[in-house]
Structure 1
Amino acid sequence: MASILLLEDSPTVSDPLRSLLENDGHKVAVCQDAASAIAFIDRNETLDLALVDYWLEQGTAETVLTTLHDKRPDVRVVLITGGSRDVSVETTQWLGALDGIDGFLQKPFSRREIQAIIRQFCG
């Protein structure tokens, strides 16, 4: 069982994804903005994986990625996004190649794809 942080500002994405992950036996914390994600990171010692939507309604997840990189380099990070704000998927994938990013999932993704990511990074 993995401890997973899901940073996703859209409940239409986060609710079913949380259900899927919890049904697979994982502990999932959902945050809808960068500030709550950073607070979660600061107060939780057990965290195996962060699934991070980079393009948020109120900006980007850049501060969350920096916090994870600086304070929790042991946590695997996967960007989940479909691109937005007139930014191409290619640009979003380039962001995924940045230091500290372990994987990339493009929305919409399948149950099989997310389960493969979990197996890859959490065993």
Structure 2
Amino acid sequence: MSRILIVEDTRLMRDSLVDVLSASGHQVTTAEHGAQAVEMIAAGAQFDVIITDIIMPEMDGIETILEIQTMQPDARIIAISGGSARLEKAQGLETARRLGAVAVLEKPFEIDTLLDAVAKAEG
């Protein structure tokens, strides 16, 4: 199974993702925002799959994807988003797809959809 980094600012969503992915046998690490994820990777942490929310404080998901790709050009990224008042979820997810995300998921999504995206990202 994969080493997965979840980058998600909402605690309930982050905990739910950890529960589902851990129950599926994955080793899961979390970051509360993009800057924290970038720091982990810059310090040498290795992940097979990175799941990042798009709308977050401090460093949003698009900035996070760009920073991670400079350090790990072959990073396997899944983008997730529920949108916001300023940004429709489809806009952020389409940008993530253009930047190379292997999958994009609109919140809310089904557990099977998440697990399928992870399997796709694993290659």
The answer to whether the 8 Å contact 2:3/2:26 transfers is yes
State the distance in 2 between where 1:114 and 1:35 align. 24
Give the structure 1 partner of residue 73 of structure 2. 73
Q: Which runs of 5+ in 2 are unaligned?
A: none
Contact 1:49 1:76 in 2 (8 A): yes
What amino acid sits opposite 1:53 in the alignment?
Answer: D
CA distance in 1, matches of 2:17, 2:31: 13
- Pairwise CA RMSD of aligned residues? 1.6
Shift of 1:108: 0.5
Query: Does the residue aligned with 1:5 lie in a helix, a strand or coil?
Result: strand
- For 1:1-123, what aligned pairs fall within 5 Å after superposition? 1-58=1-58, 60-123=60-123
Which segment is superposed worse, 108-117 or 85-94? 85-94
Residues 21 and 64 (structure 1), Cα distance of their counterparts in 2 relative to 1, 3 Å cut:
same
Deviation at 1:92, TM superposition (A): 2.1
User: Contact (CA 8 Å) 2:80, 2:93: kept in 1 or not?
Assistant: no
Equivalents in 2 of 1:44, 1:22: separation in Å?
22
Q: Is the 8 A contact 1:73 1:100 kept in 2?
A: no
Q: Which deviates the most, 10-19 or 33-42?
A: 33-42
Distance 2:115 2:78 in 1: 13
Q: Percent identity over the alignment?
A: 24
Q: How many residues end up aligned between the 2 structures?
A: 123
Q: Which moved more, 1:79-88 or 1:56-65?
A: 56-65
**Alpha-carbon shift at residue 77 of structure 1 (Å):** 0.8
TM-score by length of 2: 0.89
* CA distance in structure 1 between the partners assigned to 2:62 and 2:96 by the alignment: 12
What is the CA–CA distance in structure 1 between the aligned matches of 2:33 and 2:18, rounded to whole Å?
Answer: 16
In structure 1, runs of 5+ residues without a counterpart are: none
Comparing 69-78 with 84-93, greater Cα deviation is found at 84-93
